[in-house]
Amino acid sequence: EIPPKEGEEVKEEESEPIEISNVPITTRFPPEPNGYLHLGHAKAVSFNFAVARMFAPDGRCHMRLDDTNPSKENQEYIDSILEDVRWIQKNTEPFSIAEPALDKKEDEGPWFGKVHKTSDSFQLIYDCAKALIENGDAYVDSLSAEEMKEYRGTLTEPGKDSPYRTRTVEENLDLFEKMKNGECAEGEHIVRAKIDMASPNVNMRDPALFRIKHESHPCTGDEWCIYPMYDFSHPIQDSVEGITHSLCTLEFEDHRPFYDWTLDKLLPTGLIQARPRQIEFSRLNLKYTVLSKRKLIQLVEEKVVSGWDDPRMPTLSGMRRRGCPPEALRLFCERVGISKADSFIDVGDLENCIRETMDDTSMRAFAILKPLKVTITNWQGSSLEEFEVPRHPKKEEMGDRTVPFGKHLYIEREDFFDLEGPEGEANGGRKPKGFKRLLPNDKVRLKYAYVIHCDEVIRDENGEPIELKCTLLPETRAGVTPEGMKRVKGIIQWVEANTAIKCKINQYDRLFKTEEPGKATGNFLDDVNPDSLEVLDDCLIEPSVAMDTLGMLAKIRNNEKEDSNDKIYHSELAYQFERMGYFALDPETTSGKPVFNRVVTLRDTWAV
């Protein structure tokens, strides 16, 4: 658990004990396919899967598409949701497949059994509404949307009965039939539960059950022109699937009485058999970002970002493309924990989970983001020298890599401070405080190789250094400090010029400038950070990275041929570019030019 920040109130969770009966504990993750999944959904996925796993081997978690509103839903969203859930649960224990055989390949996933869809139950949900009408518990209303709003009352004022509330059962059944048969216009009628227009809970003031929508549905096509409301279909679908614990976010707390009302009325009809229970938990809110599909759609449509999977997006596809490992996201969700207290979590907490995970799993390599040429004037060799160095300092099993060394090298421009040039002048003839790397007429150690001495700086017409002429100290090879020599404090990375490969690196910063985007102006787009992407086109990487990249591209091609559900992603090739941060391969990579995304810096350097 991340400890609460100062001034943040922590409500104790009402701990109702979970009753364990002989029914297997069953949860579900039920997104509406009206957008891509985001970090908030990761919390819901993790929670639902974790609860089910707690009750292994019987616990189950279902995957459900809550597809009751065809105006906003489509196949692209369905596909992305299933892909994202597969990804975030990658390499976790599967639930035992005790259910009937899986007929479709697309149905396979980390969830229990097939993918459920609320639309599979449209006929049953229709029958349920009809039964309520027959029992006098529902009616067809014909008020206009505006009138309906007026009749609903407010939080402080009770609503009043619609004049259509007293229609006879026959009249209601007849109208419902007409609605179903497509004989009515959208908005002409609506089916409502008959509960209490004076209830202090607005959700109990005759909530809608079915509305008319002359729209094609991604799964049921033109079979239906009336569609059930979320609040009505949810308890029915939960019951049909045998969900025992319907975990949802806190905004549904006030909807729970209607959830229970629906079950109370329908269980005696025999149309449904099981009684699920709704339990609420708090939403995940993150500072410096937005987590709402409506807002994320806006970012995509207004081209603030390049798409749903832009690495700056808090979507799961964006996080994946950026290179966040699914293990890091799961660790984050576990640390955030579950409670009923609303809070804003620091993005830094997520970044720390990514660092921890990637430190353990990422290979090390040398990359130069802004190259400065170095020539070793006393280089004797006719061919290159090679250093065998570890891919990971603490993990021998990851093996070694070969780093070539020669007369022509590149180092990071920022690892040299031109004390004798305009840079030094601008700084009052002093080096920056704490600067331990290379200066004119001074030494630095090239990691794994030699100590070099900078003898001469070649500058362009603006005084910008373009080449350093250096000599190497042969007796310092491979980390040795000879007796009597003063230890060189600065150690920097480098690449050999003729074997280094050019690559493009995207460096990302936060997408928003403020903690709660839109808080000041009411429009979150006002707070977009204009400098959230820096593209470096002339970076250089050591040859081992280029080799790994080619191997990865081949692996991805083979995997695509197999049409497997266990997709391999470019970002699974990830490195700690030494001293620069964690980076992952981007799908824009070609065999000629790798593209890397910076996942996260080495340390939290973000200045507020």
Q: Does 32 bind ligand ATP (CB under 6 A)?
A: yes
Partners of 61 in beta bridges: 27
* Dihedral sign of CA atoms 153, 158, 160, 161 in order: positive
List C-alpha distances in Å: 180 to 170, 192, 416, 481: 15, 15, 75, 86
Give dist(CA 180, CA 224) in Å, integer.
7
Binding track over 12-31 against ligand ATP, x by CB under 6 A: ------------------xx
470: left (phi over 0), alpha (psi -120 to 50) or beta: beta
Which one of 39-47, 322-330, 379-387, 491-499 is the stretch in contact with ligand ATP (CB under 6 A)? 39-47
Q: Which is nearer to Mg ion, 141 or 241 (CB)?
A: 241
Q: Name the active-site residue from 293, 321, 322, 445.
A: 293
Q: Which is nearer to ligand ATP, 63 or 225 (CB)?
A: 63
Roughly what angle, to the nearest 10 degrees, separates helices 347-361 and 326-336? Answer: 140
Which of 92, 220, 292, 514 is close enough to bind ligand ATP by CB under 6 A? Answer: 292
Q: Which is nearer to Mg ion, 32 or 231 (CB)?
A: 32
- Tokens for 306, please give them: 């390049």
- Tokens for 209, please give them: 């059950």
Give dist(CA 396, CA 351) in Å, integer.
26
Which of Mg ion, ligand ATP, none does residue 311 bind to, with CB < 5 to 8 Å depending on kind?
none
Which one of 284-292, 338-346, 521-529, 566-574 is the stretch in contact with ligand ATP (CB under 6 A)? 284-292
- Give kind and range of the element (H or E) at residue 265: helix 256-266
Which of ligand ATP, Mg ion, none does residue 41 bind to, with CB < 5 to 8 Å depending on kind?
ligand ATP
Which one of 38-46, 220-228, 454-462, 521-529 is the stretch in contact with ligand ATP (CB under 6 A)? 38-46
Q: Name the active-site residue from 53, 165, 213, 283.
A: 283
Q: Minimal distance in Å, beta carbon 215 to Mg ion?
A: 17
Backbone dihedral angles phi then psi of residue 234, each to the nearest 5 degrees: -60, -50
Q: Name the active-site residue from 32, 83, 412, 572.
A: 32
Which of Mg ion, ligand ATP, none does residue 207 bind to, with CB < 5 to 8 Å depending on kind?
none
Is 489 annotated as catalytic?
A: no
Which one of 28-36, 190-198, 218-226, 395-403 is the stretch in contact with Mg ion (CB under 5 A)? 28-36
DSSP code, position 181: T
Give dist(CA 573, CA 553) in Å, integer.
10
Is 293 annotated as catalytic?
A: yes
Which of Mg ion, ligand ATP, none does residue 240 bind to, with CB < 5 to 8 Å depending on kind?
none
Q: Does 61 bind ligand ATP (CB under 6 A)?
A: no
Task: Find all residues with CB under 8 Å of 273, minimum gap 6, and list them.
Answer: 239, 267
Backbone dihedral angles phi then psi of residue 172, each to the nearest 5 degrees: -65, -45
- Tokens for 162, please give them: 């619609």
DSSP code, position 438: B
Is 461 annotated as catalytic?
A: no
Q: Using CB under 6 A as the criterion, which residues of the chain lie in contact with ligand ATP when the complex forms? A: 30-32, 40-41, 43-44, 248-249, 283-284, 291-293
Active site residues: 32, 283, 293
Q: Using CB under 5 A as the criterion, which residues of the chain lie in contact with Mg ion when the complex forms? A: 32
